[in-house]
């Protein structure tokens, strides 16, 4: 057995990553959207991450102590990945390290935000296990790599270890250790029924009609308050008129401004959420007729730039980068701010899952209101 206590300064950044080592902690953010919602596409691998310079052989155990402030965290070994702290809608949370199948797969990957979490990934020749804070979350004897014909040759070369996080997420890594075993990791399977994967917003019971208050009831109290305040704020923005709709299962709250063709949506996932604004696509008729009613994203960004260049540039950075899901995607939207150009997924402007995110939303929405007031005939 060889235990490698990793020097965090040895991690190597790849792609659009900002990282800093200070006070014995490694801090990382990702500056461009990564295709974590598209693990079903072979060619869409995560392209922004930190990695270790050497490779490791099975049987092995990876122990990481880390925290994130928003969904999600990804540990990649070889061709596979394991996702942690992602939204309920994430349906590809694990894939094989040698022969990924790119199909739907769930396990209970919930972690508390803003708290250091102990994560253990254990890959043995005939068993695999995931532990979170000492609790067994996943156990399998049926991973593809276990019966893969060329596994011995691949294992001799070793597997690369990578760590990634979604855009707008602050990742802090406290420690990493990797243990390589001679014969076996000695996995202990508790045989207790594993916790069930979360695959919906559990604030709403089966068959229950969702209400605004109930939909957000599992969020932290400060975030419930921010969402309630935004709900009231939207009522004060005349001439803008928002219609609030709640998805039938309580997974999404949408505010639609149909006259000017944009919307703001909150995607609820129990104690976490995602939220964004976009000029939505009108899809009546054939695809070649799809259009937006009045996309003024660039005009709003230009106006904001005159008032606060730093804020406008930050909002431009927050636009959800196209990751190339489809070659001729009709939802790909081109935006520019001064000399900067960007392809954006569905034209979405994303906000952070914190108080600052809601402050940014208010400023942006207020600028839309002022633009509308000045252009109304």
pLDDT digits (tens, 9 = 90+) for 135-188: 999 999 999 999 999 999 999 999 999 999 999 999 999 999 999 999 999 999
Helix (H, G, I), strand (E, B) or coil at 269: strand
Question: Quick check: pTM over 0.85?
Answer: yes
CB 111 within 8 A of CB 85: yes
pLDDT score, position 357: 98
C-alpha distance from residue 20 to each of 25, 102, 300, 356 (Å): 8, 33, 33, 22
pLDDT score, position 286: 76
CB 281 within 8 A of CB 306: no
pLDDT score, position 40: 54
Percent of the chain exceeding pLDDT 70 equals 97
pLDDT score, position 257: 96
Helix (H, G, I), strand (E, B) or coil at 236: helix
Give me the mean pLDDT over the 341-369 stretch: 96
Residues 269-279 have pLDDT tens digits of: 999 999 999 99
C-alpha distance from residue 150 to each of 101, 122, 142, 146, 327 (Å): 16, 20, 16, 10, 33
pLDDT score, position 157: 98
Distance CA 141, CA 227 (A): 44
Q: Decide if pLDDT at 114 tops 60.
A: yes
Residues 323-343 have pLDDT tens digits of: 877 777 878 899 999 999 999
pLDDT confidence of 42, banded at 50, 70, 90? low
Higher pLDDT, 291 or 110: 110
Give me the mean pLDDT over the 77-81 stretch: 95
Q: Decide if pLDDT at 285 tops 80.
A: no
pLDDT score, position 38: 57
Give me the mean pLDDT over the 26-31 stretch: 97
pLDDT confidence of 376, banded at 50, 70, 90? confident
Q: Which domains does the chain have, with CATH numbers?
A: 2-180 (2.60.120.560), 212-375 (no CATH)
Structure tokens at 263: 């919307």
pLDDT, mean over the chain: 94
Higher pLDDT, 44 or 308: 308
Look-up of token digits 């001064």: 338
pLDDT score, position 41: 56
Structure tokens at 228: 């309630």
Distance CA 167, CA 210 (A): 30
Structure tokens at 292: 């937006």
Distance CA 92, CA 43 (A): 15
Q: Decide if pLDDT at 284 tops 60.
A: yes
pLDDT score, position 377: 58
pLDDT confidence of 39, banded at 50, 70, 90? low
Nearest to 119 by CA among 132, 108, 109, 128: 132
DSSP state of 33: -
**CB-based contacts of 319, cutoff 8 Å, min separation 6:** 335, 342, 344, 347, 348, 349, 350
pLDDT score, position 43: 56
Q: Decide if pLDDT at 221 tops 70.
A: yes
Cα angle value 176/181/187 (rounded, 5°): 85
pLDDT confidence of 264, banded at 50, 70, 90? very high
pLDDT score, position 116: 99
């Amino acid at each position: 057995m060889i235990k490698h206590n990793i020097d965090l300064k040895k991690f190597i950044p790849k792609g659009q990553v900002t990282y800093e080592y200070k006070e014995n902690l490694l801090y990382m953010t990702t500056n461009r959207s990564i295709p974590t919602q598209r693990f079903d596409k072979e060619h869409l691998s995560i392209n922004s991450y930190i990695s270790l310079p050497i490779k490791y052989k099975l049987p092995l155990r990876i122990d990481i102590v880390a925290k994130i402030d928003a969904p999600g965290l990804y540990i990649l070994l070889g061709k596979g990945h394991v996702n942690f702290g992602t939204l309920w809608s994430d349906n590809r949370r694990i894939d094989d390290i040698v022969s990924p199948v790119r199909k739907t797969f769930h396990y209970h990957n919930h972690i508390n935000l803003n708290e250091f979490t102990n994560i253990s990934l254990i890959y043995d020749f005939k068993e695999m296990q995931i532990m979170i804070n000492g609790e067994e979350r996943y156990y399998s004897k049926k991973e593809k790599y276990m019966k893969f014909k060329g596994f011995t040759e691949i294992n001799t070369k070793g597997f690369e270890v990578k760590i990634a996080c979604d855009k707008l997420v602050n990742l802090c890594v406290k420690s990493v250790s990797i243990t390589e075993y001679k014969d076996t990791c000695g996995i202990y399977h508790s045989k207790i029924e594993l916790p069930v994967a979360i695959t919906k917003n559990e604030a709403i019971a089966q068959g229950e009609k969702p209400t605004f208050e109930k939909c957000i009831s599992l969020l932290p109290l400060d975030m419930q308050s921010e969402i309630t305040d935004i709900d009231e704020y939207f009522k004060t923005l005349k001439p803008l008129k928002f219609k609030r709709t709640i998805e039938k299962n309580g997974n999404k709250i949408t505010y639609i401004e149909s006259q000017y063709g944009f919307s703001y949506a909150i995607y609820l996932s129990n104690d976490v959420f995602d939220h964004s604004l976009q000029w939505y696509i009108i899809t009546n008729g054939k695809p070649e007729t799809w259009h937006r009613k009045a996309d003024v994203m660039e005009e709003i960004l230009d106006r904001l730039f005159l008032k606060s260049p730093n804020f406008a540039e930050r909002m431009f950075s927050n636009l959800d980068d196209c990751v190339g899901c489809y070659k001729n995607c009709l939802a790909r939207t081109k935006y520019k701010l001064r000399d900067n150009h960007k392809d954006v997924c569905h034209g979405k402007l994303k906000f952070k899952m914190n108080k600052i995110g809601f402050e940014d939303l208010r400023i942006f929405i207020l600028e839309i209101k002022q633009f509308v007031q000045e252009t109304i005939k």
